[in-house]
Amino acid sequence: MRIAIDLMGGDYAPQAIIEGALLLARAYPEDRLLLVGLPQVKTAFPDLPDNCLYLDCGSVMAMDEDVRGLMRKKDSSIWMATELVKTGEADAVISAGSTGAQMAAATLLLGRIPGCERPAIATVVPTAAGAKLLLDVGANADCSPELLLTFARMGAVYAEQLLNYDNPRVALLANGTEEHKGNKLVREAYALIKGSDLHFIGNLEGRDILTGNYEVIVCDGMSGNIAIKSMEGAVAMIMQLLKQELTSSLKAKAAAAMLKNNFRNVRKALDQEEYGGAPLLGLSGISIVCHGGSSAKSIFSAGKLARKCHTNDFVNKLTAAFMAEPIQ
């Protein structure tokens, strides 16, 4: 397959992004990678593998740049990379840059699936019961109950097609598990999803996200973003505390050295890099959103996800699911 990669987006761009692209190029020599970046980046990486093609862009959408400016920056890396999918020159696009800009470019260039009012970002969560799905995690801060039902449908198709779950259990994220919990949005969405043909299991709380007794948790983009970033913050704090303690004395250092592999296993179980990307759901094309702090490994994982979406014909399956189950 052919993957367009925005080299300019992300905290460690272009270095980490290029390194991730090179990992992909070597792992999948049959693929073709279209690397979109500023001309000066190309000169820094003169020896690209044969299956990498470098394409010059003229500008970059900054992380905090107003998305409305995108229409005046059609030479930006994210616009040009997404355009390659629109024109059929690429099968997917990957970026770790401004999510707003990526979503705007994808919506404008690729279009939405009929029945999906607004795209969502779904993230795979490494839980105690395997990989599960949480959406939306940041694309839509304000949602309607109908939009949450759309997210529930998209999440269920994702869980079936890409995570291989049969009849995936769908839940809503709330401040309690009882039916009357949640804000007005959640309570209204509860009734809608309960009335649908989805396998709805009611409300779950923040602490349930990592237990994994569900396949899909649906929420508005602000709640989802708060949930994952709060968990990230907690993990970072514990790792920091452990590091302090385990280097606080010679004895601690010696014991910690004996546990090196054990700590590595813990880190691995928590490793978001393993999942490294999330497709924008609801668009007529594959656009993989990566964390701003993406490493080369994250980009590599995002590439594997793009391949999975492509080989599973995910977008067409999602479209078919929406055709079969029109929103009331």
Residues in the site for a second copy, rule: CB under 8 A? 64, 66, 128, 138, 141-142, 173-176, 178, 180-184, 186, 205-211, 219-223, 225-238, 240-242, 245-246, 248, 251-252, 254-256, 258-259, 262-263, 265-266, 269-270
Angle at 211 between CA 205 and CA 216, to 5 degrees: 70
Q: Which is nearer to a second copy, 59 or 144 (CB)?
A: 144
Of 104, 81, 89, 107, the closest CA to residue 17 belongs to: 81
Q: Which is nearer to a second copy, 98 or 284 (CB)?
A: 98
β-strand 216-218 against 130-135: which pairing, if any? parallel
**b (16+ CB within 10 A) / e for 162-171:** bbebeebbbb
Q: Which is nearer to a second copy, 291 or 307 (CB)?
A: 291
Q: Which is nearer to a second copy, 113 or 281 (CB)?
A: 281
Q: Supply the angle between the helices 296-311 and 15-27 in degrees, to the nearest 10.
A: 50
CB of 132 to a second copy, least distance (A): 13
Q: What pairs with residue 171 in β-bridges?
A: 217
Q: Which is nearer to a second copy, 258 or 324 (CB)?
A: 258
Q: Which is nearer to a second copy, 194 or 268 (CB)?
A: 268
Residue 16 to residue 299: CA distance in whole angstroms: 8
CB of 233 to a second copy, least distance (A): 4
CB of 101 to a second copy, least distance (A): 13
CB of 130 to a second copy, least distance (A): 13
Residue 100 to residue 64: CA distance in whole angstroms: 9
Q: What pairs with residue 172 in β-bridges?
A: 203, 218
Q: What is the DSSP string of 261-325?
A: HHHHHHHHHT-GGGT--EEEETBSSEEEE--TT--HHHHHHHHHHHHHHHHTTHHHHHHHHHHHS
CB of 303 to a second copy, least distance (A): 26
CB of 237 to a second copy, least distance (A): 4
CB of 125 to a second copy, least distance (A): 10
**Amino acid letter at 302?**
A
Q: Which is nearer to a second copy, 115 or 292 (CB)?
A: 292
